[in-house]
Amino acid sequence: MTSHDAIIIGTGQAGPALADRLSRAGQRVAVIERARFGGTCVNTGCIPTKTMVASAYAARMARRAADYGVILPGPPRVDMKQVKARKDAVSGKSRVGVESWVRGLENSTVIQGHARLTGPRTVQVGDETLTAERIFLNVGGRAAVPPMPGIGDVPFLTNSTMMDLDTLPEHLVIVGGSYIGLEFGQMFRRFGSDVTIIEQGPRLIGREDEDVSATIAGFLEKEGITIRTNATCMSVARQGDGVAVTVDCTAGAPVVTGSHLLLAVGRRPNTQDLGLEAAGVAMDGKGYITVDDTLQTSVPGIWALGDCNGRGAFTHTAYNDFEIVAANLLDGDNRRVSDRIPAYALYTDPPLGRAGMTEAEARRSGRRILVAKRPMTRVGRAVEKGETEGFMKVVVDAGTRQILGAAILGTGGDEVVHGLLDLMTAKAPYDVLQRSMPIHPTVSELLPTLLGSLEPAS
């Protein structure tokens, strides 16, 4: 048995940063990783997918070159092997960087293998037993596979195995019309695949406002993506070398046949076979580790960070988990999960930047609210770039004059939304931003103008 001050299981976004802080504080740290360093973001999530999104954007712009007065000798061709090679290189460099960082930490020992808790202070990795007064779980999540009739009889892809493709699907059928499904759908349509997105609900990305959902559906359909909603009775079966998906929709053919099937219906935590029961760590009905506002589990001395705690499903929420834990343990700073404002992006083109409440959530809250909305056709920078799909929307509390939420669906939306998010974090009234002097020409310069058009919600 080897003794440490802290054991960190998993090297996603929270684990390595926490190992760095703890080791620099003089604590003896053991870092355990069962597979590839860097977690989902580095290996199968943010970095590889956004690298491929960039390739898809380049293909789209090449096809539109004539719109900008640029004449190419012929139509562009996408080489999927080169797309994959570029993605692998970017992702691989990041993975090597994380591993080198962790292995180079003072007071830190890296162990590779599958970790299991055998008690509230002990962890087993192979034949080795480790003990520590503090244990941090950063084990991440993976794609969920729905209990769809026939799913065990057909080949299918997930967000992880999509990363292995170096050939172009003839017809990619995507089950799941939410964030992951929409990003892959647009990406592969731009690479040249026929794409059908099948969504069980009445509209895409049901957690967003209806105007956001409708606008995204509109520009995806303009690019030739087929969208099937209200698919309430799905099943799958082999059909030749491909797969047939039976749907029950209000319109359209009852069966969609494709060459490849991608399941994009959500995530589940990697908490099975982690020995949580042996340590007495509580989980909810979906397998997420139950944590309090400081991310401590039901067992004192054990924390859960990142996707496995169900308190966020993004790289930035995982890193913020690290910041909260480090602040409370090392800095004497009383930080809480409940203090943070929900924020995320959908990386379609154009992207959606989101912060705080949706308009629907604000209405349901019972507050008196003000709402402003501006189409991207009235944003000069968007017109100059020839990218005018989408709109900007902000929701404000009429009493406090503080911003409750924002949706920036348009070119640069994933960056522009931070101007509003910063104001929300500062709890400043929206008037503060109105008095700023933004740079012209930018998309962000229209934020003060947008706020100047606030009106009571009807």
pTM: 0.96
CA atoms lying within 13 Å on the CB side of residue 85 = 5
Q: Which pLDDT value is given to residue 393?
A: 98
Selection from 276, 309, 273, 355 nearest residue 14 by Cα: 309
**Neighbouring-strand partners of residue 195:** 172
pLDDT, tens digit (0-9, with 9 covering 90-100), for 22-34: 999 999 999 999 9
Looking at residue 410, what is its pLDDT? Answer: 98
**Burial of 440 by CB count in 10 Å (0-12 exposed, 13-18 middle, 19+ buried)?**
exposed
Q: Does the annotation count 440 as an active-site position?
A: yes
Residue 207 to residue 353: CA distance in whole angstroms: 14
Residue closest to 181 by CA, chosen among 146, 138, 137, 131: 146
Q: How confident is the model over 177-211, as pLDDT tens digits?
A: 999 999 999 999 999 999 999 999 999 999 999 99
In angstroms, rounded to a whole number, what is the distance separating the alpha carbons of residues 403 and 355? 10
User: Which of these, 407, 419, 427, lies nearest to 444 by C-alpha position?
Assistant: 419
372: amino acid identity, one letter: A
> Locate tokens 């520590």: which residue?
132
Please give the Cα distance from 349 to 50 (Å, whole number): 11
pLDDT in tens, the chain (458 residues): 899 999 999 999 999 999 999 999 999 999 999 999 999 999 999 999 999 999 999 999 999 999 999 999 999 999 999 999 999 999 999 999 999 999 999 999 999 999 999 999 999 999 999 999 999 999 999 999 999 999 999 999 999 999 999 999 999 999 999 999 999 999 999 999 999 999 999 999 999 999 999 999 999 999 999 999 999 889 999 999 999 999 987 777 899 999 999 999 999 999 999 999 999 999 999 999 999 999 999 999 999 999 999 999 899 999 999 999 999 999 999 999 999 999 999 999 999 999 999 999 999 999 999 999 999 999 999 999 999 999 999 999 999 999 999 999 999 999 999 999 999 999 999 999 999 999 999 999 999 999 999 999 98
The Cβ of residue 365 has, within 10 Å, a number of other Cβ atoms equal to 11
- Number of C-beta neighbours around residue 34 at 10 A: 15
**pLDDT tens, position by position, 79-119:** 999 999 999 999 999 999 999 999 999 999 999 999 999 99
Q: Which residues contact 127 (CB under 8 A, 6 or more apart)?
A: none
The answer for 444, left when phi > 0, alpha when psi is -120 to 50, beta otherwise, is alpha
Query: Measuring CA to CA, how many Å separate 200 from each of 176, 191, 243?
Result: 7, 26, 18
Q: What crossing angle do the helices spanning 14-24 and 315-326 adopt, rounded to 10°?
A: 20
User: What are 248-271's pLDDT values in tens digits?
Assistant: 877 778 999 999 999 999 999 999
Cα–Cα distance between 152 and 236 in angstroms, integer?
9
CA–CA–CA angle 173, 176, 180 (5° rounding):
95
Rounded Cα–Cα distance for residues 107 and 267 (Å): 34
Q: DSSP of 22-41, one letter per residue? A: HHHTT--EEEEESS-TTHHH
CB under 8 Å to 48, separation ≥6 — which residues? 87, 88, 90, 91, 163
The amino acid sitting at 118 is T
Return d(Cα 294, Cα 292) in angstroms, integer.
5
